[in-house]
A and B are shown apart, each in its own frame.
Chain A
Amino acid sequence: MVPLTWYLVVAAVLFCIGVFGALARRNAVAVLMSIELMLNAVNINLVAFWRYLEPDKIVGQAFAAFVFIVAAAGTAVGLALIISVYRSRDTVDMENVDLMKW
């Protein structure tokens, strides 16, 4: 059996890759992709804890399923916003989207 720690290490590294992408990339679509990576890392944790600590209770899987739903809704709205910004300002650069910045 694979030790629980291995899953947690993979999830932690994947989360940090996502954090780096969200901080370092300028393209809004790239930032959205990094956020997907972070959500996936969290889901690995949830499922791994379900499998190793409480396989009889279904809560870990149910929570991961809700993360799926929220991620899908978030991506749909995020991409719509990006396309809308691209239409009105001709850019998807995070640095140039400062309409709501004082």
Chain B
Amino acid sequence: MTTLQVMFILLGSITLAGGLYTVTARNLFHGALGLIVALAGVAALYALLEASFLAAAQVAIYIGAIAIMIIFAVMLTRGVMGAYPVKDLWSLAVSSIGTVLLLAVLLVTLFRFNWPQTTPAAVPADSIAQLGKALVDPNLYVLPFEVASVLLVAALIGSAYIARDKK
């Protein structure tokens, strides 16, 4: 087993442990901290996959913005749920069984498919520059890119409007 594989197992288990804590923590604030651990683990996995721009964006967008926003929401709505963060036992059982079935289907499909075993080609040295150019290239993604900026403005105005105090 190589060093990379050991690091992957370590980072993968940290990510999954954070995710599991997120959905099982009784205290929602602790769950949000578990979410930050999971997001940081995913950022590290991006770094292992040599997607350095996405690793940085993951830290900046997810941990820096989304996780902070979620913690704000937790604090603004705290103390209203009582000590029972999950549904009744029946729906808990149904959702557990459904999840395990989904996981089984995913894993069986995944292991039955014949994935290429060869070592992949090296990432081009200028992959970040390529990504930047592709995002503003008229033949590639300039239209989705501009639509995404309109979407962000719409989300900004919309959320400010929805969340404002109506008196």
Contacts and interface: CB of A to CB of B under 8 A. Distances in A.
Contacts of A40: 38-39, 42, 62
Interface residues of B, number: 89
A61 B51 contact: yes
Contacts, number: 241
Contacts of B16: 10, 13-14, 17
Nearest to B144: A66
Interface residues of A, number: 73
Given A10-B16, A21-B22, A44-B42, A16 B103 contact: yes
Given A51-B120, A55-B123, A37 B76 contact: no
Given A7-B45, A65-B131, A75-B66, A55 B121 contact: yes
Nearest to B160: A80
B110 A8 contact: yes
A83 to B, nearest CB: 5
Given A10-B16, A82-B77, A83-B76, A73 B155 contact: yes
Interface string B135-167: 100001100100010011011101110110110
Contacts of B135: 62, 65
Interface in A38-92: 40, 43-44, 47-48, 50-53, 55-56, 58-59, 61-62, 64-66, 68-77, 79-84, 86-87, 90-92
A64 B22 contact: no
Task: With a 10 A CB-CB cut-off, give which of B99, B131, B154 has the most chain A CB atoms.
Answer: B99
Contacts of B162: 77, 80-81, 84
A34 B23 contact: yes
A24 B23 contact: yes
A1 B4 contact: yes
Interface of A: 1-10, 12-21, 23-27, 29-30, 32-34, 36-37, 40, 43-44, 47-48, 50-53, 55-56, 58-59, 61-62, 64-66, 68-77, 79-84, 86-87, 90-93, 95
Interface of B: 2, 4-5, 8, 12, 15-16, 19-20, 22-23, 28, 31-32, 35, 38-39, 42, 45-46, 48-51, 53-54, 57-58, 61-62, 65-66, 69-70, 72-74, 76-77, 80-81, 84-87, 91-92, 94-96, 98-100, 102-103, 106-107, 110-111, 115-117, 119-124, 127, 130-131, 134-135, 140-141, 144, 148, 151-152, 154-156, 158-160, 162-163, 165-166
